[in-house]
């Protein structure tokens, strides 16, 4: 039987070798060929083959058969011989690893060998004899060598090594999105002379992946070190209890345990492997930035130079490839966003292709086709990051919603609060929204930038926070959102360039779209000519544009379910809006956010918005716009509860007409540095609960009329540098609970006598100098807590 198996193996092997091109057998790709020859020699030695376990023989044969299919598949491509290293499918690379494992297993079955830091662990060494019912799946624990060609990892490796070798660092997390090269960086680290010299043969590498088996992992660790457990391991608990025995045995030499590719939900493994053993360190790699880690290294994407180098290497672009236009190469590399995996795969897919193919690929991507349509093996790798349990599926929905905005755009958290309050019925204060964004940040699917929060702001103020999303992740979000037919998508995201409207939009017999979220982004060449569409179910409409004049699309007039409208001008100049009167008939419109809009253009056609509850103006030109309105604010906005005005630099005086909106509950005016006067009529806002006049550096005082705001619970005048005193009758704010006056550097006068009447006041936020003013008051107001604010130098706000 052994002879027959040998003959069958040789026939398969011969076909594989015949299919390999000469450049593969000889050149720098000879490693796999060498392993194949080694495996064949093992089969040719009848004596050794008869001694090998039957399952090893079967496995080796299956590995070579698998390779035969892949080689035949790849050999049909005329370019595969020159591009094997980067162009071959992932399956062929995996076959290379399978052959390597077969060689290791077959050799190890005859003589156990120790390779220092690179040792393959085979469960069958000792445990197979103890219990035949043990899980016998092979867990490979060797630290593989890094790829022959790497770029951009030298600095990260030095930084990671420096952090790992610090005496106080016992557990270290290496985190980055999928495809950034975390495992490659660890492989390079383990090849470093200092690391190898320190940990010698005590580097233990475990590929954890999605469903780790604690018992099997620890059994392999015992087998690797040739140590027999005190008693038979029958459960995870048995394994964990005996692991310290093995770790202590291989000490006191330093030990490095590497847990590679730990998924969210598998962090329990890290906790189970923590022991109080001298010179014992754990290095974890994960797509998730687990908050519990005290020491974390964030691996960044490649810079432009390194990205170009890796891409050109992957695409084999040498001097003879100069016929590929340089501008095309730069655009493609820019689109890959510095992700090593994306650069390798996209470069590999273009290797040897004609310049026309390169340009064609670019045109497809610009028309809304994605990288993932060009390389089908890239998508599954990135999609693994989007696996959520059923109770967190809303996090995935939030991730895909982020694709509604321009690539690399700083998305205000306030926008997402408006969107998700209506789409997913999240709280209007934004607590659950911020929690979801934190989850996406932990998973490296987005990046939430938050300003430092005082006690008064933790649960209610997120206007200065923003989110960014890497272009590749945005591509992934767009791809995931486009899997259903246009009419059936629950979110429809369109990017329009010039007059190139989508074909389906121009069809005469157009079917209604059923999307709840509709996002339309246009560029600076868009001429504003809309085709009519039917969007009866849209609840959130996001309009991104870059022109000085913009016309709201006609279909808005019939969008009766519309609840949130976001109009964002990303151009350089303030824009004028036409067709604003279309909104008057919308019965459910609750929230409007306008960014970089000339408000005077709206007031010319201002119509009553009876259902509107919140309006936000960001970087808008207001000037005297409201003074020229043809109708009063109280009539036009009868149900308005909240007004936010941020970075409106031409606002000098708050329009008097806004003081007639008596149902208003929140008024926030922030970063309006020319604002110098609040009207006395502000006292008419008797239902006001929150008043934020924040970072308005030219405002010198608050009007005495605010004494009438008996429902006011939060007063925020932080960073109003010119305010020198509090209103004389501030004590009449009988429901005031929070007063934020940090950064009011000119407020040096003694507090008004009426301050002692603030019986409900619980928190005052201020700096050390202002805190001294409140010390006498604390003897009377026993509930009062004085919070001394820390200095917060946040330059991110200047980039808005």
This prediction has a pTM of 0.76
The yes-or-no verdict on residue 20 having pLDDT over 60 is: no
Residue 231's pLDDT is what? Answer: 78
Q: Is the pLDDT at 777 greater than 60, yes or no?
A: yes
Q: Angle CA(334)–CA(448)–CA(165) in degrees, nearest 5?
A: 80
Confidence of residue 46 (pLDDT cuts 50, 70, 90): very low
| CB burial string 682-715: b at 16+ within 10 A, e below | bbbbeebbbbbbbbbbebeebeebbbbbebbbbb
Calculate the dihedral angle through the C-alpha atoms of 61, 65, 70, 73, rounding to the nearest 10 degrees: 160
Measured torsion, CA atoms of residues 109, 114, 115, 116, in degrees rounded to the nearest 10: 150
Q: List Cβ neighbours of 450 (8 Å cut-off, separation of 6 or more).
A: 434, 462, 465
562 token code pair: 């519309």
Residue 364 has pLDDT above 50, yes or no: yes
Q: What pLDDT digit, counting tens, does each position of 225-277 carry?
A: 777 777 788 888 888 888 888 888 877 789 999 999 998 888 888 888 888 88
* Average predicted confidence (pLDDT) for the chain: 79
How confident is the model at residue 130, as a pLDDT? 37
pLDDT of residue 68: 52
> Residue 375's pLDDT is what?
56
Q: How large is the average pLDDT for residues 189-199?
A: 92
Q: Tell the residue number behind the tokens 């917060």, with chain if given.
A: 792
Nearest to 177 by CA among 423, 388, 476, 487: 476
- What phi, psi does 753 have (nearest 5°)? -60, -30
Please, what is the Cα angle at 197 between 195 and 202, to 5 degrees? Answer: 75
Residue 506 clears pLDDT 90, i.e. is over it: no
The confidence band for 113, taking pLDDT boundaries of 50, 70 and 90, is: very low
Average pLDDT over residues 494-502: 80
pLDDT at 503: 75
Per-residue confidence band for 602, with pLDDT thresholds at 50, 70 and 90 = confident
The 10s digit of each residue's pLDDT in 656-696 is: 888 889 999 999 999 999 999 999 999 999 999 999 999 99
**Nearest Cα to Cα of residue 251 among 283, 219, 223, 275:** 275
CA-nearest of 308, 317, 359 to 336 is: 308
298, 303, 309, 313: CA torsion to nearest 10: 40
DSSP code, position 657 = G
Long-range contacts of 34-37 (CB under 8 A, 24+ apart): 35/96, 35/99, 35/100, 35/103, 36/64, 36/99
Measured CA to CA, the distance from residue 511 to residue 541 in angstroms comes to 19
Lowest mean pLDDT among 34-48, 142-156, 708-722: 34-48
Compute CA 604 distance to the chain's CA centroid, rounded to the nearest angstrom: 42
The average pLDDT across 114-132 equals 33
The winner for highest mean pLDDT among 97-106, 647-656, 698-707, 773-782 is: 698-707
Helix (H, G, I), strand (E, B) or coil at 715: strand
The pLDDT assigned to 773 comes to 92
* pLDDT given at position 527: 76
Tens of pLDDT, residues 245-256: 888 887 778 999
Please tell me the distance from the alpha carbon of residue 24 to that of residue 27, in angstroms, as a whole number.
6
Q: Can you tell me the distance from the alpha carbon of 195 to that of 137, in angstroms, rounded to the nearest whole number? A: 30
**C-alpha–C-alpha distance, residues 312 and 328, integer Å:** 12
Instruction: Say what the pLDDT of residue 24 is.
Output: 45
pLDDT band (50, 70, 90) for residue 128 = very low
Q: What percent of the chain has pLDDT over 90?
A: 40
- Mean pLDDT across 577-606: 87
Write down the pLDDT at residue 104. Answer: 43
Task: Encode 440-478: b = buried (16+ Cβ within 10 Å), e = exposed.
Answer: bbbbbbbebbbbeebebbeebbbbbbbbbbbbbbbbbbb
Return the structure tokens found at 80.
């595969």
CA dihedral (571, 577, 582, 586) in degrees, to 10, reads 50
Q: Is the dihedral of CA 222, 223, 224, 230 positive or negative?
A: positive
Predicted confidence at residue 66, as pLDDT, reads 56
Whether residue 582 has a cis bond before it, omega within 30° of 0: no
Q: How many CB atoms are closer than 10 A to CB 13?
A: 20
| Closest to 311 in 3D by CA, of 180, 104, 151, 547 | 151
Dist CA 382 CA 433 (whole Å): 24
Average pLDDT score over residue span 360-387: 73
Q: What is the pLDDT, as a whole number, of residue 4?
A: 44
At residue 110, does pLDDT exceed 70? no
C-beta of residue 349 within 8 angstroms of C-beta of residue 374: yes
Place of tokens 């109080």: 276
- Pairing outcome for strands 614-618 and 666-670: unpaired
Strand partners, 500: 497
Instruction: Give yes or no for residue 33 having a pLDDT over 90.
Output: no
The β-bridge relationship of strands 517-522 and 540-545 is parallel
Say yes or no to pLDDT of 630 above 90: no
The first and second tokens of residue 43, run together, are 């089969």
pLDDT at position 209:
76
Q: Is it the case that residue 2 has pLDDT exceeding 50?
A: no
Cβ contacts of 85 within 8 Å, gap of 6 or more: 28, 29, 148
Look at residue 519 and give its three-state secondary structure: strand
pLDDT at 507: 67
Give the pLDDT score at 318: 65
Query: Euclidean distance between the first and final Cα of the chain, in Å?
Result: 75
Residue 5 has pLDDT above 50, yes or no: no
Give the pLDDT of residue 353.
Answer: 83
**Radius of gyration, alpha carbons of the chain:** 33
Of 636, 678, 644, 679, residue with least CA distance to 661 = 636
pLDDT band at 12 (very low <50, low <70, confident <90, very high): low
Residues 6+ apart with CB under 8 A from 271: none
In DSSP notation, 159-195 reads HHHHHHTSTT-SEEEEE--TTS-HHHHHHHHHH-HHH
Alpha helical stretches, state H, 618-760: 633-636
Q: Which of 382-386, 621-625, 640-644, 753-757 has the lowest mean pLDDT?
A: 621-625
How confident is the model over 730-743, as pLDDT tens digits? 999 999 999 999 99
Q: What's residue 138's pLDDT?
A: 35
Q: In the block, which residue shows the tokens 């090849």?
A: 191
pLDDT digit string, tens, across residues 65-102: 555 555 555 544 433 333 443 344 444 444 444 554 45
- SS3 label, residue 78: coil
Angle (CA) 561-567-570 rounded to 5° is 155
CA-to-CA dists, residue 36 to 16, 103, 106, 524, angstroms: 9, 9, 13, 58
Interacting residues of 147 by C-beta distance below 8 A, sequence separation 6+: 184
The answer to whether 676 and 699 are in contact (CB under 8 A) is: yes
Burial class (CB in 10 A: 0-12, 13-18, 19+), 253: exposed
DSSP 3-state of 490: coil
Q: Is the pLDDT of residue 385 over 70?
A: yes
């Amino acid at each position: 039987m052994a002879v027959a198996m040998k003959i069958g193996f040789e026939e398969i092997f011969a076909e594989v070798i015949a299919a390999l091109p000469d450049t593969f057998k000889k050149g720098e790709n000879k490693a796999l060929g060498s392993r194949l020859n080694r495996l064949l020699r093992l089969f040719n030695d009848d004596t050794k083959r008869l001694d090998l376990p039957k399952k090893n023989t079967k496995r080796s044969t299956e590995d070579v058969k698998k390779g035969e299919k892949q080689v035949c598949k790849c050999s049909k491509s005329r370019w595969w011989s020159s591009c094997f290293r980067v162009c071959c499918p992932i399956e062929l690379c995996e076959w290379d690893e399978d052959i390597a494992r077969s060689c290791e297993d077959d050799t190890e079955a005859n003589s156990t060998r120790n390779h220092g830091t690179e040792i393959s662990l085979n469960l069958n060494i000792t445990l197979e004899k103890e219990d035949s019912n043990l899980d016998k799946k092979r867990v490979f624990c060797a630290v593989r060598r890094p790829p022959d060609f790497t770029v951009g990892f030298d600095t990260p490796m030095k930084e990671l090594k420096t952090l790992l070798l610090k005496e106080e660092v016992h557990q270290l997390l290496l985190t980055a999105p999928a495809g950034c090269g975390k495992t490659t960086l660890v492989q390079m680290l383990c090849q470093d002379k200092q690391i190898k010299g320190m940990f010698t043969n005590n580097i233990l590498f475990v590929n954890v992946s999605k469903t780790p088996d604690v018992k099997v992992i620890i059994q392999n660790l015992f087998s690797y070190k040739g140590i027999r457990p005190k008693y038979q391991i029958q459960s995870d608990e048995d394994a964990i209890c005996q692991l310290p025995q093995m770790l202590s045995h291989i000490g006191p030499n330093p030990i490095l345990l590497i847990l590679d590719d730990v998924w969210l939900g598998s962090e329990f493994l890290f906790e189970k492997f923590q022991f109080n053993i001298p010179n014992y360190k754990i290095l974890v790699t994960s797509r998730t930035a687990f908050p519990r880690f005290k020491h974390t290294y964030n691996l960044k994407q490649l810079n432009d130079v390194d990205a170009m180098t890796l891409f050109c290497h992957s695409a084999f672009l040498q001097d003879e490839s100069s016929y590929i236009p340089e501008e095309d190469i730069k655009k493609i590399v820019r689109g890959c966003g510095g992700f090593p995996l994306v650069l390798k795969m996209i470069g590999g897919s273009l290797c040897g292709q004609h310049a026309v193919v390169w340009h064609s690929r670019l045109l497809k991507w610009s028309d809304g086709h994605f990288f993932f349509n060009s390389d089908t093996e890239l998508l599954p790798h990135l999609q693994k990051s989007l696996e959520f349990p059923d109770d967190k599926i809303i996090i995935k929905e939030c991730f895909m919603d982020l694709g509604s905005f321009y690539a690399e755009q700083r998305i205000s958290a306030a926008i997402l609060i408006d969107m998700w309050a209506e789409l997913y019925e999240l709280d209007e204060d934004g607590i659950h929204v911020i929690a979801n964004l934190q989850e996406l940040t932990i998973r490296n699917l987005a990046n939430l930038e938050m300003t430092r929060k005082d006690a008064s702001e933790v649960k209610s103020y997120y206007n200065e926070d923003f989110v960014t999303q890497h272009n590749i992740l945005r591509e992934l979000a767009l791809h995931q959102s486009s899997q259903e037919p246009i009419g059936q998508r629950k979110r429809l995201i369109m990017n329009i360039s010039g007059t190139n409207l989508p074909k389906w939009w121009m069809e005469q017999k157009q079917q209604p779209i059923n999307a709840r979220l509709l996002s339309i982004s246009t560029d600076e060449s868009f001429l504003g000519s809309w085709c009519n569409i039917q969007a009866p179910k849209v609840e959130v409409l996001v309009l991104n544009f870059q022109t000085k004049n913009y016309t709201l699309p006609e279909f808005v007039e019939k969008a009766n379910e519309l609840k949130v409208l976001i109009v964002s001008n990303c151009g350089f100049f303030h824009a004028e809006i036409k067709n604003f009167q279309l909104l008057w008939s919308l019965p459910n419109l609750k929230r409007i956010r306008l960014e970089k809009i000339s408000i005077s253009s709206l007031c010319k056609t201002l119509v009553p918005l009876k259902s509107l509850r919140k309006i936000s103006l960001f970087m808008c030109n207001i000037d005297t716009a409201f003074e020229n309105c043809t109708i009063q604010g109280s009539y036009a906005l009868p149900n308005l509860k909240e007004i936010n005005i941020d970075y409106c630099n031409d606002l000098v005086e708050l329009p008097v007409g806004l003081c007639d909106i008596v149902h208003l509950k929140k008024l926030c005016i922030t970063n309006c540095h020319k604002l110098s006067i609040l009207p006395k009529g502000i006292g008419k806002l008797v239902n006001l609960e929150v008043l934020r006049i924040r970072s308005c550096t030219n405002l010198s005082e608050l009007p005495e009329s605010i004494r009438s705001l008996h429902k006011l619970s939060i007063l925020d005048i932080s960073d109003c540098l010119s305010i020198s005193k509090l209103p004389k009758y501030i004590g009449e704010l009988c429901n005031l609970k929070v007063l934020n006056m940090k950064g009011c550097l000119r407020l040096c006068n003694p507090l008004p006598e009426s301050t002692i009447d603030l019986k409900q006041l619980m928190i005052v936020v201020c700096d050390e100098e202002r805190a001294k003013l409140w010390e006498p008051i604390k003897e009377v107001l026993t509930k009062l807590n004085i919070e001394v604010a820390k200095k917060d130098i946040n330059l991110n706000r200047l980039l808005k």
